[in-house]
Amino acid sequence: MERFFLYDDVEDTKTRFVCFTGESQRYDLAIMQSSRFFGKVLVMDIQFGRFGIIGPDDVEEEGYLEQVYNRSEEEASELREYLRELLG
């Protein structure tokens, strides 16, 4: 079988590992910056194995973080507060 690649690129990225605690939860994140994401960052929740490509507009979208990271409203609020600082 012959493979048809749409792309196969290697790119240097900047990755930041962050761990912080909120009122209800601990957050272990890996945040990857790349030119591939058009100004957004890849935010990986290491504890729960979930990730999203997040920009300032996504942080403000109601229910978005809750859905992407499968977090409660309270947990997503703590994550949202950190991401606002990060992306602001």
Residue 5 forms part of a structural domain = no
Q: Residue 84 has what pLDDT?
A: 96
Residue 4 forms part of a structural domain = no
Query: What is the total count of domains within the chain?
Result: 1
Return the HEC string of 8-65: CCCCCCEEEEEEEECCCCEEEEEEEECHHHCCCEEEEECCCCEEEEECHHHHHCCCHH
Q: Residue 24 has what pLDDT?
A: 83
Residue 1 forms part of a structural domain = no
Q: Residue 19 has what pLDDT?
A: 97
Q: Residue 88 has what pLDDT?
A: 83
Averaged pLDDT in 10-residue chunks for the chain of 88 residues? 93 96 93 93 96 96 96 95 93
Domain that holds residue 25: 14-87
